[in-house]
């Protein structure tokens, strides 16, 4: 028999249906906390579970103990300055002043906000003519008197005894608040994300080093650590890694060759690390330069970002991530421009070398997912002349990836066309029988004068990849020969494909194409392309499915 739920467990499940991240949800939680004794504690826990900043908590002090000032937002042409605010204490805080603060602070599990990897840190949303009129983020400064009060209080008990996740973004402060982070740490903290932005604030760097060196004692249960925008932190991180016994995920950036070697030594001594992210690592070296035994590192997930294909090849050769199940390579630019009159190296040559190194560095029986993006696509940055389309990439560029027979996800987005024909897609389908998601350049159409894949390529995927859920592929369906050839064969229906992205494909007769697709993929729910809206495709699919249902009824 099933275990009977306790009353507090049932109440907790009910509270889980209230969306605490939405204004209406927060209003509901506040009403429950004020009016319902049964839900009072649970509603308060949900309201205070995560706070984006310290402001709500600082306002819990008596009104005569603090002041809060806000400077007006200033804009200079394209430059939109953030809204500045400043919090200050007006008197010393006694034990009775902390009662309300402690009442809510003990409920906080997460503090701060995390910026997405794929966005620039500039304030405001960028468009063709510069930043939009989007609301500028607020930057809050804390006075020295606040630090003194926090430090005195911290000496007797933790400020946030239940804190599990802490995000500190240097772009959202005035640069003076980094020394507050150490006061917020606790023995239950499991995730720490620091975006230091040293070059923006130009503050003394000793505070960063002191903070990182204190992690083994202040956060013994730390499982995830991310430190970015710091040029001095890598050495100290490498030094304390062996002492962070529960660490499973590490993300670092801005490393030199010497610091990277020190980090590699520490990583080789950590057999339990699951995820490693290296960002902005311009390490121009290979395995022979390291001078270490070629033992590689033991990670299940490896992300390399903000580097050129040449540097990525060197990093893969050094790291030797043989046990990696997921690899993501997001490169800043192609780096194929020539300097000093030298002959430029095509992007496909660099990528082929990178894939060859990947083939030699990883165990083919382990890798299940690969993501390649060059250059990194950002929604708020325009593509300039330096990112003009590269030469088309031939099919042999991807051939080293065919050795990874366990791949379930292949995602490749390039600033260049992929030259793929039906034979290339057939080889992929045969080499990756466990494939679930396939994205080949978002269905980008290479144009006339090059080999194209046809509807036969779709048939190959359906025939040889039984677990396929969706794919993104450019096909030439302007000629019906491939359709007729496919129609004349008996092919088992594929009942798992839910979506497909056909991009700029030459689709020919849309109704005929949908007829074939629905027959081949009866569970198909979504078709997307550049030429037609999603609603237009849905209309055609619904008509085709309705016609099939009527035919089935008439045949009974």
* Span 522-541, pLDDT tens digits: 999 999 988 788 888 888 88
Q: What is the pLDDT of residue 174?
A: 53
Comparing 106 with 208, the larger pLDDT belongs to 106
Q: How many CB atoms lie within 10 A of CB 1?
A: 3
Least confident of 21-30, 192-201, 237-246, 410-419: 192-201
Q: Is 332:375 a contact under the CB 8 Å cutoff?
A: yes
Tokens of 135: 């609301």
Burial readout 355-369 (b: 16 or more C-beta within 10 A, e: otherwise): bbbbbebbeeeebbb
Q: For residues 114 and 250, what is the distance between their CA atoms, to the nearest angstrom?
A: 16
* Span 115-158, pLDDT tens digits: 544 433 333 333 333 333 344 446 677 888 998 999 999 888 89
Tokens of 220: 């013994």
11 pLDDT more than 80: no
Rounded percentage of the chain residues whose pLDDT exceeds 70: 79
* Span 314-330, pLDDT tens digits: 888 888 898 999 999 99
User: Among the ranges 10-14, 175-179, 214-218, 228-232, which has the highest mean pLDDT value?
Assistant: 214-218
Least confident of 338-347, 461-470, 482-491: 482-491
Cis status, amide bond into 41, omega within 30 of 0? no
* Span 204-223, pLDDT tens digits: 466 788 889 999 999 999 99
User: What radius of gyration do the chain's Cα atoms show?
Assistant: 28
Q: For residues 190 and 356, what is the distance between their CA atoms, to the nearest angstrom?
A: 37
Q: Check: pTM over 0.75? Answer yes or no.
A: yes
For the chain, give the mean pLDDT. Answer: 81
Q: Is 381:356 a contact under the CB 8 Å cutoff?
A: no
* Span 252-274, pLDDT tens digits: 987 667 778 788 888 887 777 89
Q: What is the pLDDT of residue 179?
A: 80
Max CA distance (Å), the chain: 87
Alpha helices in 119-192 (DSSP H): 144-154, 178-184
165 pLDDT more than 90: yes
Q: What is the pLDDT of residue 461?
A: 94
Q: How many CB atoms lie within 10 A of CB 152?
A: 11
Q: For residues 127 and 140, what is the distance between their CA atoms, to the nearest angstrom?
A: 26
Strand partners, 50: 110
């Amino acid at each position: 028999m099933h275990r009977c739920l306790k009353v507090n467990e049932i109440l907790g499940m009910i509270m889980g249906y209230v969306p605490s991240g939405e204004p209406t949800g927060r209003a509901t939680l506040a009403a429950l906390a004020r009016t319902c004794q049964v839900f009072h504690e649970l509603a308060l826990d949900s309201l205070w579970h995560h706070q984006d900043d310290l402001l709500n908590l600082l306002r819990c002090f008596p009104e005569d103990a603090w002041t809060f000032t806000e400077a007006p937002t200033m804009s200079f042409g394209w430059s939109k300055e953030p809204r500045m605010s400043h919090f200050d204490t007006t008197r010393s805080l006694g034990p009775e002043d902390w009662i309300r603060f402690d009442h809510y602070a003990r409920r906080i599990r997460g503090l701060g906000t995390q910026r997405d990897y794929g966005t620039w840190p500039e304030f405001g949303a960028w468009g063709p003519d510069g930043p939009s009129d989007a609301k500028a983020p607020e930057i809050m400064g804390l006075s020295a008197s606040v630090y003194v009060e926090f430090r005195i209080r911290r000496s007797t008990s933790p400020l946030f005894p239940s804190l599990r996740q802490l995000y500190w973004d240097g772009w959202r402060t005035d640069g003076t608040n980094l020394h507050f982070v150490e006061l917020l740490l606790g023995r239950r903290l499991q995730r720490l994300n620091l975006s230091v932005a040293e070059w923006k604030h130009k503050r003394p760097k000793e505070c960063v080093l002191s903070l990182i060196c204190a992690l083994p004692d202040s956060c013994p249960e730390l499982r995830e650590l991310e430190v970015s925008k710091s040029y001095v932190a890598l050495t100290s991180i490498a030094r304390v890694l062996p002492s962070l016994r529960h660490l499973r995920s590490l993300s670092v950036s801005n490393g030199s060759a010497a610091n990277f070697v020190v980090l590699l030594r520490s990583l080789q001594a950590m057999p339990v690390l699951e995820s490693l992210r290296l960002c902005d690592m311009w390490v121009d070296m290979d395995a022979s330069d390291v001078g270490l035994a070629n033992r590689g590192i033991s990670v299940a997930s490896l992300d390399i970002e903000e580097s050129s294909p040449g540097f990525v090849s060197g990093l893969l050769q050094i790291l030797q991530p043989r046990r990696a199940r997921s690899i993501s390579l997001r490169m800043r630019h192609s780096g194929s421009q020539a300097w000093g009159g030298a002959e430029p190296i095509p992007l496909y040559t660099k990528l082929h070398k990178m894939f060859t190194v990947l083939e030699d560095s990883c165990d083919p029986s382990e890798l299940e997912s690969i993501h390649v993006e060059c250059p990194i696509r950002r929604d708020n940055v325009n593509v300039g002349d330096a990112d003009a389309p590269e030469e088309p990439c031939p099919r042999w560029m991807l051939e080293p990836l065919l050795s990874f027979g366990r791949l379930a996800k292949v995602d490749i987005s390039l600033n260049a066309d992929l030259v793929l024909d039906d034979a290339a897609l057939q080889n992929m389908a045969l080499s990756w029988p466990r494939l679930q998601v396939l994205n080949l350049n978002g269905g980008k159409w290479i144009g006339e004068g090059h080999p194209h894949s046809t509807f036969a390529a779709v048939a190959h995927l359906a025939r040889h990849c039984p677990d396929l859920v969706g794919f993104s592929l450019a096909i030439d369906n302007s000629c019906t020969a491939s359709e007729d050839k496919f129609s004349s064969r008996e092919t088992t229906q594929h009942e798992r494909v839910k979506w497909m992205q056909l991009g700029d494909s030459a689709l020919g007769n849309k109704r005929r194409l949908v007829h074939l697709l629905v027959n081949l993929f009866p569970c198909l729910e979504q078709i997307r392309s550049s030429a037609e809206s999603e609603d237009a495709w849905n209309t055609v699919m619904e008509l085709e499915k309705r016609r099939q249902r009527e035919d089935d009824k008439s045949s009974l």
